[in-house]
Amino acid sequence: MRNETRFEPGLKDSIRRAVRELYGYDTTDAEISLQETRREFEGDVTLVVFPFIKKSGKSPEKTAQEIGTFLTSSNKQVGSFNVVKGFLNLLIDDAYWLEFFRSAVEDPAVLLDLRRHPHLFIPPGHLMVEYSSPNTNKPLHLGHIRNNLLGYSVSEILKAAGHDVRKVNLVNDRGIHICKSMLAWRDFGKGETPESSTLKGDHLVGKYYVLFDKKFKEQTEKLISGGMSREEAEKNAPIQLEIQEMLRKWEAGDVETIRLWKMMNGWVYEGFDETYRKLGVDFDKVYYESQTYLLGKKLVEEGLAKNLFFKKEDGSIWIDLSDEGYDEKLVLRGDGTSVYITQDLGTAQLRFDENPGLEKLIFVVGNEQEYHFKVLKEILRKLGRPWADGLFHLSYGMVDLPSGKMKSREGTVVDADDLIAEITDQAEMITRAQGKLDAYDTFEAKQLYHDLGMGALKYFILKVDPRKRMLFNPAESIDLNGNTGPFIQYTHARICSVLRKGSTLVRGNASGYQSLTGPEKQLLKLIHAYPEMLRNAALGLSPALAAGYSYEVAKAYNHFYHDHIVVDETAPDVSEFRIRLSRLTALVIKESLGLLGIVAPERM
């Protein structure tokens, strides 16, 4: 994605004027391509001149030279330039950066509020982000962690960009997969409870989900050894027939089935809430599929009445989407029980009914469900729902481990609670080894270990583009050096230490500082880029941009800190400038980490 520049409007005006006066041509916005100058070249912003060479009648180099000369004489922002083939690299004058610095010191909203930058401003919208969406038959695992962290971060980025955002969770609390845990507990649980087992409720229920699959496989293999085909055996395994009957009883409101369902779901919700607190994610509202599937059935009836759906001989109801490039899709089983698409239809309808003016509903769901959400949108379009085009699937890649793909039914998953505990323990071990917590009391130290562990986990996951599949390595994530959350957190703590040390030297507004060193200018350029990063992250729904930005800022500050004396009582003007520059750096690090849900510690 091309980086916009906050000085772009003025530059574009000057470039239009240059092309008009030099070549008698009125250029368009589309022809003026401004980009951040590549690091191997000297410059701040680069103009691509190839669109103008037909009008100039000259070589790209000569055209760039003429435009550069015009700009340095007519635009005070441009201090100098150089030409590399058809690329005009412009160096922005130190006076511009220092004026920006003073305005940001005086009013930090210059950095944080996109409304202060008309060409970057995104018209605010009424948006909803759905994430987490767990099943109540197992605890949260590593895949859920990516979902939760991504959904929370996207929501925070959209809010920071000016949107009205509601964060929602849809709990998959009904269906045949939920009944599997219920049936296994009923038949094999012997009354076990979270209290009697000392297990979190979601872990206890997950234990019986795995047990169901084990019993199902045993029964299937027995039938196969008796002469049945695998397909027949899987359909006729006694436990499979029982589970189908339990689902029918649940949808019929059978008292004992509902009682069992409520009890076991209650265990799970307590477990989920504890994990959400540890992860630092929250929701404005939680929806439950058990409350929306009936509305979905009404939409199926509506589609049947409009001849959009059709019924097969077994009583099942389908929609034919062959003309739209899909295939026939089941929307209701022959026994009247619903499928995923049924309840998703009802949930989407409920969301828009409850939120007048809702413009966009963003589903944070893995990429294995891409087809499902395309079909969901198409069905709602055919049902005449005007808001159907506002459905958006934020598709993300799966999380793999060095050992391979996780499988819930086989119990080969990385449990979220175990991972949080493990990475927090690693943070404690590394921090203690650094000997940095001698002055901390136990509560503060424990909180820091947790913040560092979560910083490691969140940053490692969110720094990867959401669309990419990723390999999670806990040992890499906790490193205090390199492209990690703890490295950025440590940089923030280092800056806070500098600010405490130099607080007495901050008196005026650093107006006495008139020139910049290379590392100072690089820091200012990065601070200056915060609004562009926020805008691009919001438009692209990409926390990876915020993560990458925070790392670049932290890296630049450490370079600056290594090369400069920040607090020097013998040079008050220099010190005041560098202390205030450090303060602005801490601000953008804290804000960008906050977009990721990561705490920026003041001491480490």
Model pLDDT, residue 408: 42
Neighbour tally for 287: CB within 10 Å: 21
Taking each helix axis from N to C terminus, what angle separates 142-160 and 255-279, rounded to the nearest 10 degrees?
60
- The model's pTM is 0.90
CB 516 within 8 A of CB 94: yes
Model pLDDT, residue 507: 76
Ranges in the chain, pLDDT < 50: 1-4, 404-411
Compute the C-alpha angle 591/596/602, nearest 5°: 50
Q: Would you identify the CATH topology of the domain 8-92? A: Gyrase A; domain 2 (3.30.1360)
Model pLDDT, residue 3: 44
| Residue carrying the six token digits 């589970």 | 243
Neighbour tally for 437: CB within 10 Å: 17
CB 182 within 8 A of CB 250: no
Q: What is the rounded distance in angstroms from the CA atom of residue 369 to the CA atom of residue 575?
A: 55
Looking at domain 127-400, its CATH architecture is: 3-Layer(aba) Sandwich (3.40)
Model pLDDT, residue 510: 63
Q: Where are the domains of the chain?
A: 8-92, 127-400, 416-595
Burial (Cβ within 10 Å: 0-12, 13-18, ≥19) of residue 313: exposed
Model pLDDT, residue 120: 87
Looking at domain 416-595, its CATH architecture is: Orthogonal Bundle (1.10)
Model pLDDT, residue 474: 76
Tell me the pLDDT tens digit for each residue of 110-131.
899 999 988 888 999 999 999 9
Model pLDDT, residue 409: 43
335: which 2 tokens? Answer: 């026994």
Which residues have C-beta within 8 Å of that of residue 83, sequence separation ≥ 6?
Answer: 61, 64, 65, 68, 89
Q: What is the rounded distance in angstroms from the CA atom of residue 8 to the CA atom of residue 33?
A: 10
